[in-house]
Amino acid sequence: MGTQRDMATIAVYSLKGGVGKTTLAVNLAWSSAIQSSRRTLLWDLDPQGGASYLIGDGKATKDQAQAVFAKDVEPAKLIRPSTIERLDLLAADTSLRGLDRLFFSLDKKKRLAKLLESLAKNYDRIILDCPPGLTETSEQVMRAADIILSPVIPSPLSERALDEIVSFLDRQSGRHAPILPVFSMVDRRRALHRAAMERHPDWPVIPMASAVEQMAIHRAAVGSFALSSPAGQAFASLWKGVERRLTRTK
């Protein structure tokens, strides 16, 4: 089992919305819990709460998600089991819409990192589903994570958004997590997508697939109902690569 020293935080983040970020976070969390048998927490930081909907128990939350960062509520008090064995959920709610303002007013650059440290004894892997945009929240995430996965739709605009993230990080002082771009929603029939993959042949690829669309119907990760599908195998392969990278950096 993991110790405080070997807990790792994986952030799923993109400058743009609608690029498959939550899909990626939920499927990585499933792989961590089921395929690697790791004690896993999915922390939903996106006010839209997509991950919370997909693997939560459906019970209404009390709009306390932001209070964790003000230290009015301990994170452990809001954590609940998900619908997946070994995977817990710290759900999002609408209070997170004010999280950037809170971080700015607190002026505590490592608040998220400190909160993650407080959870390290209970989990081997913590997955952060982050809101889009370059914000106070994203800066907290970049300081706290061990690795950042950034889904990129194979198009010049989406690649440009990734370049903006990298440029932003390079301008910041201090440490930031390495970024692993992941091609998302890939349709190999499209010339634009094929050209992007030729430019970056080493980036992992998640295909556009009906199994991914069915996640909202099943309210489950692809691996739980279509593991042998191309999408299911792509998520499993990506997770193995993430684990290998984390192991090398420990």
For the chain, give every domain's residue range.
8-242
pLDDT digits (tens, 9 = 90+) for 191-237: 999 999 999 999 999 999 999 999 999 999 999 999 999 999 999 99
- Which CA distances in Å does 49 have to 118, 129, 165? 23, 9, 23
The rounded distance, in Å, linking the Cα atoms of 20 and 208 is 10
Locate tokens 């119907």: which residue? 217
Three-state secondary structure call for residue 143: helix
pLDDT digits (tens, 9 = 90+) for 68-126: 998 888 999 999 999 999 999 999 999 999 998 888 888 788 899 999 999 999 999 99
Q: Which of 73, 70, 130 is nearest to 61 (CA)?
A: 73
Q: Which of 49, 6, 50, 54 is nearest to 30 (CA)?
A: 54
pLDDT digits (tens, 9 = 90+) for 124-148: 999 999 999 888 888 898 889 999 9
pLDDT digits (tens, 9 = 90+) for 16-60: 888 999 999 999 999 999 999 999 999 999 999 999 999 998 776
pLDDT of residue 250: 58
Burial pattern 208-247, b for ≥16 Cβ within 10 A else e, equals: bbebbebbeeeebbbbbebbebebbebbbebbeebbeebe
pLDDT for 172 beyond 80: no
CATH of domain 8-242: 3.40.50.300
Band (pLDDT 50/70/90 cuts) for residue 249 is low
Dihedral through CA 54, CA 62, CA 108, CA 104, nearest 10?
90
Tokens in use for 125? Answer: 């892997």
Three-state secondary structure call for residue 46: coil
pLDDT of residue 175: 66
Tokens in use for 1? Answer: 């089992």
The rounded distance, in Å, linking the Cα atoms of 152 and 200 is 11
Distance of alpha carbon 12 from its chain centroid, rounded? 3
Q: Kindly list the strands in the beta sheet with 8-12, ordered across the sheet, starting from the edge strand earlier in the chain.
A: 80-81, 87-90, 40-44, 125-129, 8-12, 147-152, 179-186, 205-207
pLDDT of residue 1: 35
pLDDT of residue 109: 80
Question: How many C-alpha atoms does 179 have within 13 Å on its Cβ side?
Answer: 20
The rounded distance, in Å, linking the Cα atoms of 36 and 29 is 10
pLDDT for 173 beyond 70: no
